[in-house]
Amino acid sequence: MSDWLFDLGNSRFKFAPLQGNRAGSVQAWAHGAEAITASALEALPRGDTAWVASVAAPALTEEVLQILQGRFGKVQVARTLPRCAGVSVAYARPEKFGVDRFLGLLAVAPARQSVLVVGVGTALTIDLIDADGLHRGGRIAASPTVMREALHARAVQLPASGGDYAEFANDTADALASGCDGAAVALVERSLRQAQTLLGTPPQLVVHGGGALPLLPLLADADYRPALVLDGLARWAVHHDACER
């Protein structure tokens, strides 16, 4: 028997065994959490404790928790804490800070250096943590995927996907890809500049999320960590008892 980590997002469902204070080999359903079938849920592993992080809709979260409660001796749901494992959250009301963003900070905190954490999923999230583990705040914007979908919803002739990035595109699909990806990259680049001004040193850039790959060639020196939330959940599993005392 073993402990497992489960990350239930808005568009992806990932899980991995807990190995020490990190996630093991990750499995993912990329088709979207809302499309998870009952048979897929029944194929989930069994074990001692299920450690769960969810930003999905309450109904889906409850469905997954019920399945896991039948397969694990204990189910523990992660929540944002004001301070944990060397991380202090900037929000005056920490419960309003998304647990996925919180876990991303927990995952990078052991480096003891300033880090700009960028998540690219349904939303584009940007959070800055300094070398002392203090969260300096962040941003939330629409991800490139959501930008494309929103444009398509308002103007159906604009394709919701496709195209290649170019600095000055000569095709509509390429122009859309360039504009939406470029908008995300520009926000990240501005955040990097402002972080350096604030801290006096350039932060490391860590990128994660299902929509991150198209942006990586445009972000110099980015460290891509696809299992970042699960790694943070692993640290929460190890440290949360001490954090809550």
Q: Is 132 a catalytic residue?
A: no
Cβ neighbours for 137, distance < 8 A, ≥ 6 positions apart:
90, 127, 128
**Residue 91: burial class (beta carbons within 10 Å; 0-12, 13-18, 19+):** middle
Cβ neighbours for 181, distance < 8 A, ≥ 6 positions apart:
144, 165, 214, 215, 218
Q: How far is the CA of 232 from the CAs of 69, 115, 194, in angstroms?
A: 22, 14, 25
Q: How far is the CA of 222 from the CAs of 59, 109, 110, 118, 201, in angstroms?
A: 35, 17, 18, 10, 16
Kindly give the interhelix angle for 228-243 and 99-108, rounded to the nearest 10 degrees.
Answer: 90
Residue pair 239/85 in contact by the 8 Å Cβ criterion: yes
C-alpha span between 95 and 84 (Å, rounded): 13
Tokens of 173: 């699909």
* Largest separation between any pair of C-alpha atoms in the chain: 59
Out of 100, 130, 181, 231, which one is annotated catalytic?
100
Q: Look at the chain and count its residues.
A: 245
Q: How far is the CA of 176 from the CAs of 141, 146, 165, 166, 183, in angstroms?
A: 17, 12, 8, 10, 10
Which residues belong to the active site? 100
